[in-house]
Amino acid sequence: MSKLRRQISANTANTAETKDLHVIKGKTGNLYESIAIIAKRANQINISLKEELHNKLEEFASHTDSLEEIHENKEQIEISRAYERMPNPSLLATQEFLEDKIYFRKNEDDLFN
């Protein structure tokens, strides 16, 4: 099991919950900056999950039709369903952000300061 999948299965709910915006804003001082950080992390999680899923499904790729293909398709379906049951990357990113597990820094040369 990959590091990311172990992290995901640890303690993340699979349903969206209401979050206190004041807590999210309090991490950076700006709500929109906090949301941008969460969105970037969610994109990172999504990309790594997609790569991992494609790598696992490539193992089953065959260019010939055979009776074994039916059995392989069942395994492919189980792998795909396992990834579908995983929490949404945005939920994971939000939880990581609220638990201070995301490292971010503010660029001092920002034009919007």
pLDDT in tens, 46-88: 999 889 888 887 877 666 655 555 555 777 888 888 888 888 8
Sign of CA dihedral 62, 3, 94, 97: negative
Give the H or E element holding residue 15. Answer: none
What integer pLDDT is reported at residue 94 of this predicted model?
A: 92
* Whole-structure pTM value: 0.74
Mean pLDDT value across residues 100-110 = 80
At 37 the pLDDT is 95
How far, in Å, CA of 79 to CA of 73, rounded?
A: 10
Q: Which stretches does DSSP call E strand in the chain?
A: none
Give the C-alpha separation, 37 to 45, whole Å: 13
Count Cβ atoms below 10 Å from residue 10 Cβ, excluding itself: 8
Dihedral sign for Cα 39, 56, 86, 70, please: positive
Share of the chain above pLDDT 90, in %: 35
**What single letter denotes the amino acid at residue 99?**
E
